Structure 1
Amino acid sequence: MVTQKHLIFSILLIAGLLSLFACQKEQTISFKIMSYNIKHGVGNDAVLDLSRAASVINDQKPDICGLQEIDYLCTRSDSVDQSRYLAERTNMKSTFGKFMDYQGGAYGMATLTTNSVVKSTVLSLPDGLYEPRSAIVQELELAKGGQIVFVNVHFDWIGGDEGSASRLRQAKALVDHLNSLTNPIVITGDFNCTPDSPTMRYFYDHGFQFADKGEDNLSFQGEKKSEIDHVIYRGTSEQKIGLKSIRLLNEPIVSDHRPLVAELQITY
């Protein structure tokens, strides 16, 4: 009788432990990202005022923010280290990705994050027709055991078939690099192409999902409005990633691009 009780107790204990392990094994983390081409702080009113971009970021409080058109000590933007300036005013960590030397400093992009940075790479991409290009690829720890790869891009801006071919080459080089990584991937930034372009179709063909903005989707608000700022993502067999929400903010003055804000979640 004692043996039978011990057996039943052992079975219940094992079942409980297995149930607890299963619950602990699968966790879901939500995180907020932002993408913003800030045109090195020059607004649609032709005023250079980087504090306005900082205010927009602070209002949204993203966990990760990909910024495009960032200057480092360039004379046109008062020789300010814009990546550092924005990091200090948003209480985030910054990484600058250089495209090229420019006006006594450098021109490129930056990523801000509140998360622990496991690894950061400024990945050189095939040059654009008139400017070099790179992508900032960061492996970030969202929580213990939960990591993502966050990629900030700004592809070639040239139009026509030549520009399309240039962007596609850049996308291929990026995907080749990302295929060597094992965590879920989020790519955001100024792709300089629409969702139906060859570049975006290449991403779709390689397992990336597109975050649909709905009807209010025109992110570039210059003379020819278009949808060129995107969020795409790809999970793994063991780590699923999904979209909770996405929207473009109405900020008509700060830049010729609208800020893009998305909430995602990863289950691992």
Structure 2
Amino acid sequence: MPGIKVLSYNIRHAQGMDDRVNLNRIAEVIEQSGAQLIGLQEVDKHLPRSHFCHQAKILGRRLNKFWAYGATLNWGVGQYGVAILSHWPIAYQRLILLPSRGEQRGLLETEIQLGHRRINFFCTHLGLNREERQEQVGDIIRTVQQTSNPAILVGDFNDKRSSGEYQRITSVLQDATLEAQDFRTYPSHEPVEQIDFVFVSAHWRPLGVRTFPTTASDHLPVLVELKLEKTADLDHIKVLPQ
């Protein structure tokens, strides 16, 4: 099959570097990327700071994508967490709460139906404390290793390639952004470091990686093109979201 485009994007509840909350800007960034699988972090549901919107649902409908949402925090009637948008049907989803010492973090797991085959697509946002990140990475690795499907893990990992957490992840998965030179994702207006990553199982061959300038959030999006290796071609029939 031809390559598929995967995006990881911490949208900061659609608050841009101008401090305005504007979900339309986030939708435009995703649409312009051409991504077919999208993992989003810091996504609001029914919170006053983001105009009581269900951001994942609105983005899914506007972009004509299937969507899944995992709330890691509950604030009154509102929630906050991670989300996945998919060009292909989402056959299964679950949120796994990760060990957390500060803000509760989670791993959103989905099975995506690509023609006659399924892949596992994971989205996460790790904590700010190194010790909790080490525990969170341990749980994530154990979960990813439970599937024999081709797997993709995206997210804001709040750490660099020099970290022990990165080394643990890349002992199991490959970093699909590795070949990019001087790749930086944060902060978006003047990026100095990469803390946003796409990791993939050995089923995949990375074809390219890029980001693009935008201040719609405080992070830059990470776009990776992947090719599924050593497997039969998959159908490309798209079932439109209801």
TM-score scaled to structure 1, two decimals?
A: 0.81
Which of the numbers 229, 254, 266 marks the counterpart of 2:196? 229
Distance in 1 of aligned mates of 2:199 and 2:89: 22
Q: Does 1:111 align with 2:74?
A: no
Which of the numbers 214, 218, 230 marks the counterpart of 1:256? 218
Number of aligned residue pairs: 228
The share of aligned pairs that are identical, in percent, is 27
Matched AA of 1:32: K
Higher relative contact order (CA 8 A, sep 6+): 2
- 1:75-94 pair list within 5 angstroms: 75-94=48-67
TM-score scaled to structure 2, two decimals?
A: 0.89
Q: CA deviation at 1:243?
A: 0.3
Matched AA of 2:106: S
Matched AA of 2:120: V
Distance in 1 of aligned mates of 2:55 and 2:191: 27
Matched AA of 1:130: G
SS in 2 for 1:265: strand
2:21 maps to what in 1? 48
2:110 maps to what in 1? 138
Distance in 2 of aligned mates of 1:178 and 1:259: 23
Give RMSD over aligned pairs.
1.5
- 1:21-100 pair list within 5 angstroms: 28-100=1-73
Q: CA deviation at 1:103?
A: 5.2
- Mark the runs of 5 or more structure 1 residues left unpaired by the alignment: 1-27
2:122 maps to what in 1? 151
Matched AA of 2:199: I
Return structure 1 stretches of 4+ with deviation > 6 angstroms. Answer: none
- Mark the runs of 5 or more structure 2 residues left unpaired by the alignment: 232-242
Determine if contact 2:109/2:121 at 8 Å carries over to the other structure: yes
Matched AA of 2:105: R
Q: CA deviation at 1:221?
A: 1.3
Larger mean CA deviation between 209-218 and 178-187 belongs to 209-218
Structure (1 or 2) with the larger CA radius of gyration = 1
